[in-house]
């Protein structure tokens, strides 16, 4: 059964807390949205179906390859499944693809946080492949959900983070498709209506 409260893009996300396994420390911990916001950081939540599965380790390894870039952008990365923190620890330390995973692994065995973001599958007790970016003010700015059998590309997550960081500093602008840092942005207004091609070519 879905929670009646589901975070939606453009709104403030209610606070949540999870137990974690912290590979960088080799120990358990906790993480909360309130503390991440207090630190002035962005929150990236990467939900995945389960530990000890097949597509999931390829995604987490790909995310680990981009971890340094995301950290430079001020993001706290949390990969989340409905497994326990104990399962996270064993999987992280036995699956070879995860050897470079040093970001937080969030445990959501009750599905509470997964329900909050609308990715909880009550039929299986697992989370769909959801990716969410929350800005330092607590506003949800990016939401993407894939089914179980389609893996994600972490380079696109980096691009979205770069765009969101730029737009938070430049709220009057908008980033066109495939925008990357240094590329031209758009400034919405009456002069831009029907003239986007010309504005991008100028």
Choosing from 56, 60, 75, 77, the catalytic residue is 56
Take residue 107 and report the two structure tokens written for it. Answer: 């445990």
Pairing state between β 140-146 and 129-134: antiparallel
DSSP secondary structure letter of residue 63: H
Separation of alpha carbons 172 and 38, rounded Å = 25
175 given a catalytic annotation:
no
pTM > 0.85: yes or no: yes
pLDDT mean by block of 10 residues, the chain; 202 residues: 71 97 98 98 98 98 98 98 98 98 98 97 97 98 96 98 97 96 95 93 88
What are the chain's domains? 17-169 (3.40.30.10), 171-202 (no CATH)
Nearest to 36 by CA among 11, 18, 61, 48: 18
Residues 100-134: b if buried by 16+ CB within 10 A, e if exposed: ebbbbbbbbeebebbbbbbbbbeeeebbbbbbbbb
């Amino acid at each position: 059964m879905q929670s009646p409260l589901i975070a939606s893009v453009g709104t403030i996300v209610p606070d949540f807390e999870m137990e974690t396994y912290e590979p960088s420390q080799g120990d358990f911990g906790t993480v909360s949205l309130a503390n991440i916001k207090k630190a002035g950081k962005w929150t990236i939540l990467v939900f995945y179906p389960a530990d000890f599965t097949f597509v999931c380790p390829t995604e987490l390894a790909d995310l680990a390859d981009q971890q340094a870039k995301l950290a430079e952008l001020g993001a706290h990365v949390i990969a989340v499944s409905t497994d326990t923190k104990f399962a996270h620890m064993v999987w992280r330390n036995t699956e070879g693809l995860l050897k470079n995973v040093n970001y937080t692994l969030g445990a959501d065995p009750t599905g509470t946080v997964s329900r909050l973001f609308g990715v909880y599958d009550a039929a299986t007790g697992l989370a769909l492949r959801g990716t969410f970016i929350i800005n330092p003010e607590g506003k949800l700015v990016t939401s993407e959900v894939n089914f179980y059998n389609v893996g994600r590309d972490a380079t696109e997550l980096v691009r979205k983070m770069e765009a969101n960081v730029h737009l938070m500093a430049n709220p009057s602008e908008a980033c066109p498709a495939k925008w990357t840092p240094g590329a031209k942005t758009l400034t919405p207004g009456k002069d831009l209506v029907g003239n986007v091609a010309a504005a991008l070519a100028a």
